[in-house]
């Protein structure tokens, strides 16, 4: 089975963080974070489907006592493993931006409650 594609959620996370930085530090709403996470999950699922179409699962090779035998994977097992691959790709696509940006939101809210230190012009001249 191919590895889970994670490039799409990383790109979506980068776009989400970039849009937050462009907004002047106003932050990201929970609704926007949820929408971006769902979009990332759907796109990651589509990407997983395309990867599975381009690189289908090979036949399984068993090694026993120096003898090699090739067996094809039964259709029921292949369909089940493909479904697990698609579902796990969607879940990974949802969780990656949600966790990365969610932790950043929690951290930034925690820092807002603390003391804010402002630099004065006299401090910069030293």
- For the chain, the structural domain boundaries read 7-106
Q: Number of helices (H) and strands (E), helices first, in the chain? A: 4, 2
Rounded Cα distance, 34 and 21, in Å: 18
pLDDT at 38 over 90: yes
pLDDT, tens only, 112-124: 665 544 545 555 5
Kind plus residue range of the DSSP H or E element containing 38:
helix 30-54
Task: Give pLDDT, residue 68.
Answer: 61
pLDDT, tens only, 50-89: 988 888 766 555 556 555 666 666 666 666 778 888 999 9
Mean pLDDT score of the chain:
78
Q: Is the pTM of this model over 0.75?
A: no
Structure tokens at 94: 């949802």
Task: Give pLDDT, residue 85.
Answer: 86
pLDDT at 125 over 80: no
DSSP E strand stretches across 22-64? 60-64
């Amino acid at each position: 089975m191919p590895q889970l594609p994670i490039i799409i959620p990383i790109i979506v996370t980068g776009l989400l963080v970039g849009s937050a930085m462009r907004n002047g530090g106003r932050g990201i709403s929970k609704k926007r974070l949820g929408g971006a996470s769902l979009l990332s999950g759907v796109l990651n699922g589509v990407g997983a489907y395309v990867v599975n179409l381009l690189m289908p699962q090979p036949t399984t090779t068993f090694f026993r006592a120096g003898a090699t035998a090739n067996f094809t994977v039964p259709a029921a097992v292949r369909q089940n493993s493909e479904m697990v691959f698609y579902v796990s790709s969607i879940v990974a696509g949802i969780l990656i931006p949600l966790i990365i940006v969610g932790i950043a939101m929690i951290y930034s809210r925690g820092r807002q409650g603390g003391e804010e230190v402002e630099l004065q012009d006299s401090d910069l001249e030293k």
